[in-house]
């Protein structure tokens, strides 16, 4: 058995992305491919719904903020979820979901808290733009529930 940290260590080979090891469990290829997103109906639908929900919440939030007071917390939730959605697109495109699944679940769990709190602060207003923003946050909440890993 090779010693820890030697060149023959199996742990180091798992992390080497340039040795033509295309094992998807350990990071697979090093090129971004939209085929990983488009080829998987679940990933395509989830990312599509998340982007649609974010866009609805973003545009409605701008309109609601122009029209009156708007909770600052919801802006933070929008920025956070934008970063999470982009991160999931990148991880899926690089076929690195299995490598980062624990971090993704943690980020999605935090995002679920942020989006549901934003829904709670926006849904009870009689302003249509705030209710539309709440609908966008509801869509993001639906796709933020962490999947079974």
Average pLDDT, the chain: 84
**Tokens 């934008």 sit at which residue?**
82
Residues 6 or more apart whose Cβ sits within 8 Å of residue 65: none
Residue 16 pLDDT more than 60? no
Pair 140, 50: CB distance under 8 Å: yes
Distance CA 33, CA 102 (A): 22
Residue 14 pLDDT more than 50? no
Residue 28 pLDDT more than 90? no
Residues 6 or more apart whose Cβ sits within 8 Å of residue 49: 139, 142, 143
Residue 17 pLDDT more than 80? no
pLDDT value, residue 145: 72
Give residue-wise pLDDT tens across range 51-77: 999 999 999 999 999 988 999 999 999
pLDDT value, residue 122: 95
Residue 12 pLDDT more than 50? no
**Count of other CB atoms within 10 angstroms of residue 113:** 13
Instruction: Name which of 78, 84, 97 is nearest 37 in CA terms.
Output: 97
pLDDT value, residue 147: 56
Instruction: Name which of 99, 93, 91, 77 is nearest 144 in CA terms.
Output: 77
97 or 6, which is more confident? 97
């Amino acid at each position: 058995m090779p010693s820890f940290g030697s060149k023959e260590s199996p742990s180091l080979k798992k992390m080497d992305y340039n040795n033509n090891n295309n094992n998807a469990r350990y990071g697979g290829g090093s090129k971004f491919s939209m085929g990983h997103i488009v080829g998987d109906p679940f990933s395509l639908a989830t990312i599509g719904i998340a982007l649609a929900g974010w866009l609805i919440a973003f545009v409605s939030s701008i309109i609601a903020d122009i029209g009156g007071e708007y909770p600052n917390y919801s802006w933070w939730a929008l920025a956070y979820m934008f970063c999470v959605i982009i991160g999931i697109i990148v991880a899926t495109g690089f076929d690195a979901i299995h490598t980062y699944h624990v971090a993704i679940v943690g980020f999605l769990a935090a995002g679920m808290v942020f989006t549901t709190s934003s829904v709670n602060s926006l849904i009870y207003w009689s302003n249509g733009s705030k209710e539309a923003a709440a609908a966008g946050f509801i869509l993001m909440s639906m796709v933020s529930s962490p999947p079974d890993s």
